[in-house]
Each structure stands twice: as structure tokens, then as C-alpha cells.
């Protein structure tokens, strides 16, 4: 068995608020091996970002991990204090965020903000740290890094700032990089460049990558493995190629069908009808049941089992009981 770098097991996350508690992430499990890229894909609000923030111990106010484990190099980091986590964050696990415009402190130079990471984790002098920061700026493809080093975030474009974020995240050569929708806020032309840069540096540093995205195009280009999340749960997890060729879950199928294709001249894109239920009115059984074209009675009543169909899918349609009962399998892609 290959040793996993990160293994999330049965993660449950909820929010305490003035009316009580709302469970948001339900029993999410996955693992990432060394050097591997895992994508978590899903719509807005499916809990993919919260999953990544739980790993960092950066849940928004009121959020907490209610159950499950997050094993990083075989240590459970799910209930560590800020102090303990600060030794891991930025050094072993780094994260870049969706909004490079606001993720940088407007009052410090970018160079300072990059060097700061190194100073926090390693015994280096201010000079060495600055030098290393300039090297990192060069590495992430920022022209005239010495000049940029002294500039403030508002003097850089969005793409530049995301490069700065990447430099900051990688300066300590972490084992795992978490990228939460790193290209969503950027111009389309810049998106591919940033993605390419992340890939390139990932290979160069031999890191693992956890990429959070809603964009299946990004997934197909980067991921080794994919987790599809819906309403706080994993609905399907698979190798990338397998997922695109044999998507099983009706939701995954819907997502794949809704990707615009260059070669086809479709009049309108397929969409998934309906909306995601809010966390307080989750259906009893399968959470996708309100939007699923194949929903059966059982789907309304019981949480779907995990079925191995060459990869794992959480759906009643593939359970043995159903197959025996003569319900047709769905495989129309």
C-alpha cells in the first residue's frame, strides 16, 4: 500500500450560530499520495472550499470539525491549536486563495510578505529571506523581480498578485499545496498561465496538489484523481480519465454534459434543473434526489451506499439490490 501524504477520513464540519448548529460537510473522505493531484469539484456551496479550509484549520467563524480525522503524514491535525498548526501552515501545507486582490495585505510590500513566510519557519536572516523572496518572484515568472519586490499589492495586476501568492506559498517548499479556485477571479487569458505555472512548480518541487474548482475543464487538464461533491457530500470519486469516460452518478453526468464543447454546435447547454437544497432542509436520503431524473423511492428514504463500479459512486442506482430489482443502469455518455 502506498503511503498517503494526506488522508481525510469521515470529515464532518458544521457551524454554530444563533439558532443552533448546522451540519455542512457530511462524511467526506479522500486521500492524496505524494506527488499526486487531486481535484475537488462541485458547484458553489457544495462544501469544497470548507473542506480545504478544515485541513488548514482556517474555518470561518463558528465553523468546527464535529467528527472525523485529517491525517497529514500520519498525524491527526484536525484538532490542533493555532500554535501547533502554525508550524505546519506555510511550511508543510500551503494554500492559495481565490481572490488575489484581497488576500494580500495592502500595507506591506509583496517582497516583505513573501520573505515573512521564510522568517516564520526557518532560521534565516532578513537579508537571506529577502534574497530568497526575489528568487521566488523570478521563479513564478514575475519580470524584474527586484523592482517588484519593493512594490505594494495595489501596484500589481490580478495575475501578478496570484503569482505572488504562489511564491509565498512555495517559498518553504511545502509537501502539499492547496489551491482554492486559484484562477476563478482572474481574466480568462491569465487563467491558463496560472494553472500551467502551478503544474510546473508542482512537478519541480515534487509536491502534492489539492485543487478546488468548479471548472471541469481545469479538472481534466490537471487532476490525477477527482472527488465530486454535492451539498456537502462526496457523490463520486475516481481517476480522472475514468470519470470523464464513465461518469456514473447522475450529478456527475449532468456536470459533464453541461461543459460547452468546442467541436459541437449545440443550440443550448444542458443544465441540471433545480437548485441545491439549503443545509437546513436536506432531504432524508440522497441529497441529490430533488434534482435527480432517475430518483426512486429508496433514494428519498435512505442515504445511498458506496458502490464500486470500477471507481466509487454514492448512488442507489448501482447498488446490488437495485440491479437485481431490474432497474436499468444509467450509462449514457
Residues in contact with another protein by CB under 8 A are 15-18, 22, 24, 44-45, 47, 49-50, 56-65, 78-83, 85-91, 94-95, 97, 99, 102-108, 116-117, 120-121, 152, 154-155, 165, 168, 278-279
Cα separation values, 106 from 58, 79, 103, 137, 153, Å: 21, 31, 9, 18, 6
CB of 88 to another protein, least distance (A): 7
Q: Which is nearer to another protein, 26 or 312 (CB)?
A: 26
Q: Which is nearer to another protein, 235 or 317 (CB)?
A: 235
Q: Which is nearer to another protein, 44 or 332 (CB)?
A: 44
Q: Which is nearer to another protein, 17 or 173 (CB)?
A: 17
- In a 3-state reduction of DSSP, which class is residue 185? coil
Most distant CA pair in the chain, distance: 71
Task: Report yes or no: 207 and 175 within 8 Å, Cβ to Cβ.
Answer: yes
Determine the Cα–Cα distance for residues 251 and 313; give it in Å rounded to an integer: 11
CB of 271 to another protein, least distance (A): 18
CB of 44 to another protein, least distance (A): 4
Helix ranges (H only) for the chain are: 48-56, 82-86, 110-121, 126-139, 145-149, 158-170, 188-205, 216-222, 240-245, 250-257, 297-301, 320-324
CA angle 268-274-276, nearest 5°? 125
Task: Report yes or no: 100 and 161 within 8 Å, Cβ to Cβ.
Answer: yes
Q: Which is nearer to another protein, 73 or 220 (CB)?
A: 73
Task: Report yes or no: 331 and 246 within 8 Å, Cβ to Cβ.
Answer: yes
CB of 16 to another protein, least distance (A): 8
CB of 120 to another protein, least distance (A): 5
What count of other Cβ atoms lies within 10 Å of the Cβ of residue 13? 23
CB of 239 to another protein, least distance (A): 28
Q: Which is nearer to another protein, 32 or 313 (CB)?
A: 32
Amino acid at each position: 500500500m502506498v503511503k498517503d501524504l494526506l488522508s481525510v477520513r469521515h470529515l464532518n464540519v458544521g457551524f454554530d450560530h444563533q439558532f443552533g448548529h448546522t451540519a455542512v460537510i457530511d462524511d467526506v473522505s479522500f486521500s492524496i499520495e505524494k506527488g499526486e493531484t487531486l481535484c475537488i469539484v462541485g458547484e458553489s456551496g457544495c462544501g469544497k472550499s470548507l473542506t480545504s479550509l478544515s485541513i488548514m484549520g482556517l474555518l470561518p467563524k463558528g465553523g468546527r470539525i464535529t467528527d472525523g480525522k485529517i491525517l497529514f503524514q500520519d498525524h491527526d491535525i484536525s484538532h490542533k491549536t493555532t500554535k501547533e498548526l502554525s508550524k505546519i501552515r506555510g511550511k508543510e501545507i500551503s494554500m492559495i486563495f481565490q481572490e488575489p486582490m484581497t488576500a494580500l495585505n495592502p500595507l506591506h510590500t509583496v517582497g516583505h510578505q513573501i520573505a515573512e513566510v521564510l522568517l516564520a519557519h526557518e532560521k534565516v536572516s532578513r537579508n537571506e529571506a529577502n534574497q530568497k523572496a526575489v528568487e521566488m518572484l523570478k521563479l513564478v515568472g514575475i519580470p524584474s523581480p527586484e523592482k517588484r519586490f519593493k512594490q505594494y499589492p495595489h501596484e500589481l495586476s490580478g495575475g501578478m498578485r496570484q503569482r505572488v501568492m504562489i511564491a509565498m506559498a512555495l517559498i518553504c517548499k511545502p509537501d502539499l499545496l492547496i489551491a482554492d479556485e486559484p484562477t476563478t477571479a482572474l481574466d480568462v487569458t491569465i487563467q491558463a498561465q496560472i494553472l500551467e505555472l502551478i503544474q510546473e512548480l508542482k512537478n519541480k518541487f515534487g509536491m502534492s496538489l489539492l485543487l478546488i474548482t468548479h471548472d471541469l475543464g481545469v479538472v481534466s487538464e490537471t487532476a490525477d484523481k477527482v472527488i465530486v461533491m454535492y451539498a456537502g457530500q462526496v457523490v463520486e470519486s475516481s481517476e480522472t480519465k475514468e470519470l470523464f469516460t464513465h461518469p456514473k452518478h447522475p450529478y456527475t453526468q449532468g456536470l459533464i454534459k453541461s461543459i460547452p464543447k468546442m467541436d459541437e454546435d449545440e443550440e443550448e447547454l444542458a443544465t441540471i434543473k433545480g437548485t441545491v437544497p439549503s443545509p437546513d432542509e436536506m432531504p432524508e436520503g440522497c441529497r441529490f434526489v430533488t434534482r435527480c431524473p432517475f430518483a426512486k423511492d429508496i433514494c428519498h428514504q435512505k442515504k445511498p451506499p458506496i458502490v464500486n463500479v470500477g471507481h466509487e459512486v454514492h448512488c442507489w442506482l448501482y447498488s446490488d439490490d437495485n440491479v437485481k430489482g431490474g432497474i436499468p443502469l444509467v450509462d449514457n455518455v
